[in-house]
Amino acid sequence: MTNNIHVTSLKNTMQVNVSSDMSNYYSKIAKDWAVSNDIVNNEDYSSKYYANKTKITADDALYSIEIEKENVINEFNNTKLEVITNIQEEGNKQISLAATQAQIATDKANEAVLTLENKANTDFSNVSIPYITSKYRNGNSWYRIWSDGWLEQGGTTSAGYNSPVTVSFIKQYDEVPLTVNMIASNASADGNPNQSRIATIVSRNSDKFIYTVSTPSAQSTVPIIWSASGYIIGGENEL
| CATH number for position 191 | 2.60.40.3940
Specify the pLDDT at position 238. Answer: 42
Specify the pLDDT at position 12. Answer: 42
pLDDT tens per residue, range 158-194: 776 677 888 999 999 988 888 888 876 654 545 554 4
What pLDDT band is residue 68 in, cutting at 50, 70 and 90? confident
Considering the domain architecture, whether residues 25 and 61 belong to the same structural domain is answered as no
Considering the domain architecture, whether residues 73 and 107 belong to the same structural domain is answered as yes
Considering the domain architecture, whether residues 117 and 203 belong to the same structural domain is answered as no
> What average pLDDT score do residues 118-142 get?
81
Domain boundary among 78, 101, 127: 127
What pLDDT band is residue 21 in, cutting at 50, 70 and 90? low
Count of domains forming the chain: 3
Considering the domain architecture, whether residues 42 and 78 belong to the same structural domain is answered as no
Considering the domain architecture, whether residues 35 and 82 belong to the same structural domain is answered as no
Specify the pLDDT at position 113. Answer: 81
Scanning 36-136, the segments in alpha helix (DSSP H) are 47-120
Considering the domain architecture, whether residues 232 and 138 belong to the same structural domain is answered as yes
Identify which has the larger pLDDT, 123 or 232.
Answer: 232
Report the length, in residues, of the chain. 239
β partners of residue 151 = 145, 230
CA diameter of the chain: 159
Considering the domain architecture, whether residues 158 and 216 belong to the same structural domain is answered as yes
Considering the domain architecture, whether residues 144 and 233 belong to the same structural domain is answered as yes
pTM of the complete model: 0.43
What pLDDT band is residue 22 in, cutting at 50, 70 and 90? low
Domain boundary among 96, 127, 158: 127
Domain boundary among 127, 150, 173: 127
Q: Average pLDDT, whole number, for the chain? A: 74
Specify the pLDDT at position 84. Answer: 83
What pLDDT band is residue 128 in, cutting at 50, 70 and 90? confident
Task: Give the single-character DSSP code of 35.
Answer: H
Considering the domain architecture, whether residues 52 and 98 belong to the same structural domain is answered as no
Contacts of 127 (CB under 8 A, 6+ apart): none
Considering the domain architecture, whether residues 63 and 52 belong to the same structural domain is answered as no
CA–CA gap between residue 167 and residue 225 (Å, rounded) = 11
> What average pLDDT score do residues 227-233 get?
88
> What average pLDDT score do residues 10-22 get?
47
pLDDT tens per residue, range 134-165: 999 999 999 999 999 999 999 988 776 677 88
Domain that holds residue 227: 132-238
The number of angstroms, rounded, from the C-alpha of 43 to the middle of its chain's C-alpha atoms is 87
Considering the domain architecture, whether residues 169 and 180 belong to the same structural domain is answered as yes
Considering the domain architecture, whether residues 123 and 157 belong to the same structural domain is answered as no
CA–CA gap between residue 171 and residue 229 (Å, rounded) = 10
Beta strands in 99-171 (DSSP E): 132-138, 141-146, 150-159, 165-168
Identify which has the larger pLDDT, 92 or 137.
Answer: 137
Specify the pLDDT at position 144. Answer: 95
Q: Rounded to the nearest 5°, which phi and psi values hold at 69?
A: -60, -45
Specify the pLDDT at position 237. Answer: 42
